[in-house]
Structure 1
């Protein structure tokens, strides 16, 4: 069984990756998008929304207002992205410390099957949070590579 510290270590490593890429892109590119894609700032905003929605609203029943569509179109500076990621990390640490992994989530999303993987237990909800962090970090790495011309030759 994974410990809380191990789980947060994985999440923190992913969040460090978001922060590093935002710094690497700088203010000139942190809001840049590939065709149909998301910007680094938008992805940072989105994962902070994901962490709050699932870690706080779903697991703990502490409702955090969220506009998911606006997360993807959000813009700002690198400093603002880093502040957002820092606040999101701190809140995630609180939410993970308060979680009881084997218990049911306090506020499952309406219209979703409570037996759906990732909704049965608070531990499953937290795994979903990490899944989102990892998935979008991969998307951000590809975006960075293209924006900075780092696509390896075929």
Structure 2
């Protein structure tokens, strides 16, 4: 089985990739949606990923109360610096949550169906795998968003 350090290495790579993209795009482009059907801004996608980590690892694995508005994550916007600071704090908390997890134990609560997680009963270890799944998936998605934005095709601009 993988170690906590292995898990945190790979989740960290995904988070570093996303925060690097948002930082590199800056305030304006990080908050822009590219002209792709259903696309989110990189800022909103990182906000969503931080919500995923906080809720799945914090509430369902560690048992902390986590207030999350999943729908609002996708409409979020703002300056990049505070979001990057939030990402660093979420990453540090994830390390604590992973190290205190009981991989074979049941979740500390049932995830709401609206959160679109796996459609089966999960252990704490499986919930942490879902966190990695989301981070890896959205990191790749954000690379595509960045490429589209840098190509100069934000929503509403002619091609």
TM-score w.r.t. the length of structure 1 is 0.89
Answering whether residue 145 of structure 2 is matched by residue 143 of structure 1, we say yes
Instruction: For 1:54-73, list aligned pairs within 5 A.
Output: 54-73=56-75
Segments of 4+ moved more than 3 angstroms:
none
Q: Distance in 2 between matches of 1:120 and 1:73?
A: 29
TM-score w.r.t. the length of structure 2 is 0.86
Unaligned runs of 5+ in 2: 153-159
Deviation at 1:98, TM superposition (A): 1.2
SS state of the match for residue 73, structure 1?
coil
SS state of the match for residue 139, structure 1?
helix
Which residue does 1:15 correspond to in 2?
Answer: 15
Which residue does 1:85 correspond to in 2?
Answer: 87
- 8-17 or 73-82, which moves further after superposition? 73-82
Answering whether residue 99 of structure 2 is matched by residue 97 of structure 1, we say yes
CA contact (8 A) 1:44 1:84 kept: no
Encode CA deviations 1:30-55: one digit per residue, 9 max, x unaligned: 10002421111101110110011100
Q: Distance in 2 between matches of 1:136 and 1:145?
A: 14
Unaligned runs of 5+ in 1: none
Encode CA deviations 1:14-72: one digit per residue, 9 max, x unaligned: 01001110121111201000242111110111011001110011112212010001111
Give the 3 Å change call, closer, same or farther, for CA 29–91 of structure 1 in structure 2.
same
| Structure having greater relative contact order (Cα 8 Å, sep ≥ 6) | 2
Q: Distance in 1 between matches of 2:15 and 2:85?
A: 12
Deviation at 1:81, TM superposition (A): 2.0
Q: How many residue pairs were aligned?
A: 148
CA contact (8 A) 1:45 1:81 kept: yes
